[in-house]
Amino acid sequence: MMLLIVFGASFLAYNLQALSSDPLAQFGESTDINKDYLIQRTIRELQLDVPPPVRYFFWLRGVIAGLWGQFTLGETRNNLDVIETISIAIPVTFRLVIASTILAIVLGITIGMITAIRQYSRFDYVTTFISFLLFSLPIFWVAVLLKEYMAIQFNDFLYDPDTQAPSSLGLSSIVIAGLVGGLIMAGILGGSRRKFFTVFAGVAFGFSSLLWALNATNWFVNPGLGIVGVGVLAFASAAVVTQISTGLDDRKSLTAAMAAAAITTVAYYPLQELMGPGSSGFNILLVFAITMTLSGFAGFLVDKFDRRIHIRTALITAFMGTLPIIFDRIMREFGGYMKSDAINNRPIPTLGQANDLLSEDQLGDFWVMTLDGVLHLVLPTIALTLISFAGYVRFSRGSLLEVLNMDYIRTARAKGLTERTVLVRHGMRNAMLPLTTILVNDFAGVIGGAIITESVFAWQGMGQLFNEALKNYDLNLFMGVFVLGAFLTVMANFVADLLYGVVDPRIRIRK
Amino acid sequence: MKMAKKNKTDLAEKTSGDIAQRETQGLSQGQIIRKRFVRHKAAMASIIILAFTFVFVFSSIGIHLGSEEFPIRIPGWWPFWITDIDPEGAIAATCNGGVTGCPTLDIFPEFIDGTGMQIGAHPFGTDIIGRDYFALVMRGAEQSIMVMLIVGGLGITIGTAIGAIAGFYGGIVDAVLMRLTDMFLVTPTLVLGAVIGYRFGNFGVVPLAVMLGFFAWMGLARFVRTEFLTLREREFVDAARVAGASNRRIIFKHILPNAIGVIIVSGTLLMSGAILIESALSYLGFGVKAPDVSLGLLINEYKDTFSISPWMFWWPGALIILIALCVNFIGDGLRDAFDPRQRRRITKKDRVAAQEVKV
């Protein structure tokens, strides 16, 4: 059935594409003496003497040959193998979209659920407005603004070409940023007017002082977290993870999470050995393995009851706590990276997927290359996240609101369960069900989907291949990209159906 | 003192359900929906802004359809058309140290920036060769609105028809239609734009919109189908059938009015999406082609001169966002109005009002 859909759609797409331009048009006004020969050659190469619906089956022959192991999608017009061309482009696209997809999903679902819990609060109204605004933004328009303000002007801020020195934040911008941060936090927490102002004042002051301190120590030019930053983040994530998974009242779980946070913090210096200059990316896995094994063991030791839960809490905390260690390692390359000739003090690029001008040493170093890749990802990731984030906010908000109106939520509250248990166990779990379909579909869609983003930021991924194939009348390449996308979409629908049955027992039983 | 306290507890006892019920007493379904919609402030504001934008855009630049050979032209009140060139006007307005074609629009009165409020000859400035940018932007907005309306109309009609037939008849019809939907779903929009741009490039935006409309109904069809699947099992459908109603009558008179909420809501989403898709296609060079303009094309043309002449970039983007945002808000208002589960927040004022009625 799925194959039939892909077959039908590919037939349609092939014929549409064949209609979309005239490959002989470029010869129309040519005065080349070889004109006739060139026309004949193009006709022969592209088999233009065969009408498109029939030509489609020539292409299909290569696909069907896959049955006896001679699978081919043909060659591009530059005589490159289509499968090879595509397999070069897939990792690029994947790198481009993976961070933004994860970020959009995590942020979108979190914020959407907060707005559902705090329905009709100031935060809810503001988020609703912002998500509608983001919904209506064309991505190419956002991209240009990002290039101007996030890249060009931020680079100027880091290293002013006029004064030949890093600029520093003015007092007014520090104060404004603090006030905005305070407003957002106070809006999320809500509550009485008094609580609102207390939170607002506290966060505004704290955030402003943090910015001031970062600015005074030139942190933006030489960023890093250090053991203090890692420790603070690890213990904060311990508190958050425990609160969500078992509640802070569960002292045993809290102990396990705190132990995990302590282990990751203590491990900060020893782990640096693993991540020295010239170490390979494989060591990252090793770092995670070490902290998570130790923490898991700590969780195991806490109590013999509910062992599984303690271990789980400790493991999640260790994972969240180890991420800052990795980030810290990458950030510490920034100072040297920025001063190198290839970068010339302008670290955030507006185009491309990697900097080819880096020196031999830098190209060989895993950490510098990672930093380079991350910096190239900054703008496209922000653009893609902004655009897709709004959808998740709206969807998860609506989904959770619907669930919270159900009778079983009232029953759960009536039983005297804590609000945390009601919201997390009964509410969010059920609200996540319809989200699975969308998540799976989006993952499939992004592989062939970031056409505009790739074009704006000049990434050589699937979208660019598709775009070029369309413009150059490159039917084989076009079909290769298209069939992959169509196949993934159809597969995603199938997987979503299966997954739905797995996560929702009601559907499984009904069948 | 005692009195006040008693009053307060009374207010609290008033459940939100009571109040919501009292409000809808004695009103028809349509009246309830209208009442709920009018209460949605953002949606009402959006309707007014959108209506104003429609009238402003269409009246200023006039209506231009068809190709060069078969033109349909109704001139507007704005003196310039997109091909009119006014080099003197462009040179007359300079700013930022020699950049020509600056906007003559000045919305600040004299006591703020020293110059009086004025519209001037070219409120949005002119482009390099002296074409009036206001005319270009208005023409682009007009194209966007036309795309939105045509795609919306076609998408809603086809989607409703297919979804209704699939959901109502079920079985083999449903299976075939849904596989057809899947097939259309995986066909990329970009290739449609390319075909239209090549074949009908000089016929303006209408063929593009029609083609996009033919490929935009899939999401809506799915929603309508789901709605029909549940509605056809309801008692009132059985009752109608027992009374001898034909399938056609059941679909049009009994089920469709109940599914209208879903249709309208996903229809508005479709329309706001259509604007973005059209501008994206034009941006990539697959949609509207020069010499005609569209908002996406304008953004693409002036994205590199952002630091020199930012207004060339701001205006088309602002119009896309304005139109899409308004349509989205209207859709949100409609969803709230049609969804009986969506309860409005019961404010203290409502409780007081309910109390007064009781006394």
pLDDT at A266 over 60: yes
The overall average pLDDT reported for chain A is 81
CA distance B314 to chain A (A): 9
Residue A397 lies in a domain: no
pLDDT in tens, B149-182: 999 999 999 999 999 999 898 889 988 998 888 8
Question: In the beta sheet, which residues pair with residue B64?
Answer: B73
End position of a domain, from candidates A379, A404, A429: A379
pLDDT at residue B116, rounded to an integer? 61
Distance (Å, rounded) from C-alpha A323 to C-alpha A424?
A: 24
Residues A194 and A332 occupy one common structural domain:
yes
pLDDT at residue B156, rounded to an integer? 94
pLDDT at residue A411, rounded to an integer? 92
Residues A231 and A306 occupy one common structural domain:
yes
Residues A63 and A199 occupy one common structural domain:
no
Residues A175 and A266 occupy one common structural domain:
yes
Task: Return the percentage of chain B with pLDDT > 90, whole number.
Answer: 16
pLDDT at residue B11, rounded to an integer? 47
Q: Does B305 touch chain A (CB under 8 A)?
A: no
pLDDT at residue B6, rounded to an integer? 46
pLDDT at residue B179, rounded to an integer? 86
Show the tokens assigned to A299: 């969780």
More confident position, A97 or B128:
A97
End position of a domain, from candidates A352, A379, A406: A379
Residue A68 lies in a domain: yes
Q: Which of A333-342, A383-392, B66-75 has the highest mean pLDDT?
A: A383-392
Residue A172: pLDDT band with limits 50, 70, 90: confident
**For A85-97, what is the mean pLDDT?**
85
Cβ neighbour number for residue B10 with a 10 Å cutoff: 13
Distance (Å, rounded) from C-alpha A273 to C-alpha B304?
A: 46
pLDDT at A200 over 50: yes
Residues A32 and A127 occupy one common structural domain:
no
Show the tokens assigned to A193: 């007017």
pLDDT at residue A151, rounded to an integer? 82
Residues A235 and A149 occupy one common structural domain:
yes
End position of a domain, from candidates A54, A72, A90: A72
Residue type at A24 in one-letter notation: L
* A265, HSE (Cβ side, Cα atoms, 13 Å): 18
Residues A68 and A128 occupy one common structural domain:
no
pLDDT in tens, B300-325: 888 887 777 788 888 889 999 999 99
Residue A356 lies in a domain: yes
The overall average pLDDT reported for chain B is 79
Cross-chain Cβ contact B191/A17 below 8 Å: yes
pLDDT at B327 over 50: yes
Which of B93, B90, B80 is closest to B135 using CA atoms? B80
- Closest Cβ opposite residue B324 in set A6, A136, A466: A136
| B42 contacts on A by Cβ (under 8 Å) | 129
pLDDT at A281 over 70: yes
Which of B53, B102, B144 is closest to B312 using CA atoms? B102
**For B16-29, what is the mean pLDDT?**
68
Q: Does B338 touch chain A (CB under 8 A)?
A: no
Residues A55 and A131 occupy one common structural domain:
no
SS3 B74: strand
Residue A431: pLDDT band with limits 50, 70, 90: confident
Residues A34 and A156 occupy one common structural domain:
no
Task: Return the percentage of chain A with pLDDT > 70, whole number.
Answer: 91
Residue type at A18 in one-letter notation: A
Residues A24 and A158 occupy one common structural domain:
no
More confident position, A108 or B285:
A108
Distance (Å, rounded) from C-alpha A299 to C-alpha A252?
A: 9
Indicate the number of domains in chain A: 2
Residue A508 lies in a domain: no
pLDDT at residue B151, rounded to an integer? 92
pTM (whole model) above 0.90: no
Residue A332 sits in which domain range?
A: 120-379
Nearest chain A residue (CA) to B313? A141
Residue A199 lies in a domain: yes
pLDDT at residue B87, rounded to an integer? 67
Cross-chain Cβ contact B190/A466 below 8 Å: yes
Nearest chain A residue (CA) to B281? A452
Residue A440 lies in a domain: no
Residue A497 lies in a domain: no
Residues A133 and A257 occupy one common structural domain:
yes
Residues A132 and A58 occupy one common structural domain:
no
Say if residues B80 and B124 touch (Cβ distance below 8 Å): no
Residue A170 lies in a domain: yes
Give the contacts of A454 (CB within 8 A, at least 6 positions apart): A93, A96, A460, A461, A462, A463, A464, A467
